[in-house]
Amino acid sequence: MTTREDLQLSLDAYDAKVAKAIAKFPERQHLSEKRLYTPLDIDEKFDYNSKLGFPGQYPFTRGVQPTMYRGRLWTMRAYAGFATAEETNARYKYLLQAGQTGLSVAMDLPTQIGLDSDAPLSEGEVGKVGVAIDSLADMEKLFEGIPLDKVSTSMTINGPAAVLLAMYVAVAEKQGVKPEQLKGTIQNDILKEYIARGTYIFPPRPSMRLITDTFAYCSQNIPKWNTISVGAYHIREAGASEVQEIAFAFANAMAYIDAAIKAGQKVDDFAPGISWIFTAGLNFFSEIAKFRAARRLWARIMKERYGATVPKAQMLRVHVHTAGSVLTAQQPLNNVARITWQAMSAVLAGIQSMACCAYDEAIALPTEESATLALRTQQLIAYESGVADTIDPMAGSYYVEA
């Protein structure tokens, strides 16, 4: 039985840890604020055996960082990619100058299924829903002038994920950046492709082998890289409910973990590289509860089912994309309110990375104006909610991720 005194000791230890963590970050000095509420703030008769825990501590219900956005904001991305590598490179530089804090690469359908742009099956699809990458030369053009040791890059690629990652590493090495300096994510989630999207190349068994081999390689050579982004988002956009979104994605993730363990890997070695992509839908309070419940449930699965002892291996670290399926082509400016509502729920839920849809996506590729507005939406939420006094939402800046 946890007593009031026990909880106070735990809180004192937590406060000391937070004080050390925030020493290197500017804090608001003009407001008297309380960082954390616990059962100690409630009536004496309250049951102090709270299962919530503190932020940054197992089971991470209240977030994966002790200081959450006080110590580090979520990474602000815009999902972008179209036409040629040169055109997409220009859009990335524009977004970075506007204040984007991480790249999110959209590949066209031929690239996603391993086809060259001049293949007969590629006709009519080249550069249509993403950028065409046929060779290492294309990859070099895509990131020309963008220092890969100073940004994190998320690539939405699955079937040929290992190939695209190899290209990315080669481009970095040409810039003089070592693999161990790289930060980013490959989606690399083939099971949800069979379920929800269809951009698979190989049958399930060899596809799983490619994924677990990538786990092993990255854990040894690219330690800061997320080797998979388990796609709950795509399952939700294909028609699943919030509960099904979690259930099917968790089932897929456990299949990857089982396969990696069967291949002889240790869960504490590869599981820190598992990340997630979820939807932020329109049911505001339900979405907030969804992320809190998912973090708690995943932490328990990792600890109790797989014996993970490293905190990062127990965490559910989430990238969120606002729901494209609810955008309308009619009266598209109404989408601005939808997107803001969704983004706010994700922030209140404690996510680690986010990309907002552009309001005109139901009509065409986002314009520079709509892409900037999608980014400003995130910046304004950070600024107006008071978690980021140093962000000027009206001025762009080239951001170097901490």
Q: What is the CATH number of the domain that holds 102?
A: 3.20.20.240
Q: Is residue 393 part of a domain?
A: no
Q: Is the pLDDT of residue 64 over 90?
A: yes
Task: Note whether 89 and 82 are within 8 A (CB).
Answer: no
Q: Is residue 66 part of a domain?
A: no
Residues 201 and 238 in one domain: yes
pLDDT for position 393: 45
pTM, two decimal places: 0.90
Residues 202 and 289 in one domain: yes
Q: pLDDT band for 201, please (50, 70, 90 cuts).
A: very high
Residues 232 and 372 in one domain: yes
Residues 31 and 148 in one domain: no
CA distance 314 to 303: 7
Q: What is the pLDDT of residues 322-350, one digit of tens each?
A: 999 999 999 999 999 999 999 999 999 99
Q: pLDDT band for 402, please (50, 70, 90 cuts).
A: very low
pLDDT for position 271: 97
pLDDT for position 48: 53
Handedness of CA 235, 236, 238, 239 (dihedral sign): positive
Q: Is the pLDDT of residue 311 over 90?
A: yes
Q: Is residue 176 part of a domain?
A: yes
pLDDT for position 27: 52
Q: Parallel, antiparallel, or unpaired for β 225-226 and 274-280?
A: unpaired
Residues 266 and 180 in one domain: yes
Q: Within 13 A of 193's CA, how many CA atoms are on the CB side?
A: 23
Residues 33 and 89 in one domain: no
Q: Is the pLDDT of residue 401 over 50?
A: no
Q: What is the pLDDT of residues 125-146, one digit of tens each?
A: 999 999 999 999 999 999 999 9
Q: Is residue 61 part of a domain?
A: no
Neighbours of 134 (CB within 10 A): 17
pLDDT for position 389: 53
pLDDT for position 141: 98
Residues 173 and 301 in one domain: yes
pLDDT for position 396: 42
> What's the whole-number mean pLDDT along residues 155-163?
97
Q: Is residue 64 part of a domain?
A: no
pLDDT for position 16: 83
Residues 18 and 161 in one domain: no
pLDDT for position 31: 46
Q: pLDDT band for 61, please (50, 70, 90 cuts).
A: very high
Domain of residue 42 covers: 1-50
Helix (H), strand (E) at residue 394? none
Q: Is residue 59 part of a domain?
A: no
Q: What percent of the chain has pLDDT over 70?
A: 90
Q: What is the pLDDT of residues 260-276, one digit of tens each?
A: 999 999 999 999 999 99
Q: Is residue 318 part of a domain?
A: yes
Q: What is the mean pLDDT of the chain?
A: 90
Q: pLDDT band for 26, please (50, 70, 90 cuts).
A: low
> What's the whole-number mean pLDDT along residues 60-81?
89
Q: What percent of the chain has pLDDT over 90?
A: 77
> What's the whole-number mean pLDDT along residues 179-199?
96
Max Cα-Cα span within the chain: 73
Residues 160 and 189 in one domain: yes
Q: Is the pLDDT of residue 317 over 50?
A: yes
Q: What is the DSSP letter of 358?
A: P
Residues 341 and 248 in one domain: yes
Number of domains in the chain: 2
pLDDT for position 5: 82
Q: Is residue 190 part of a domain?
A: yes
Residues 6+ apart with CB under 8 A from 337: none
Residues 263 and 362 in one domain: yes
Q: Is the pLDDT of residue 84 over 60?
A: yes
CA neighbor of 159 nearest in space, from 119, 107, 122: 107
Residues 306 and 368 in one domain: yes
pLDDT for position 69: 85
Q: Kindly state the tokens that stand for 329.
A: 């082509």
Q: How far is CA 387 from CA 22, 200, 347, in A?
A: 13, 41, 11
Q: Kindly state the tokens that stand for 74.
A: 């979520």
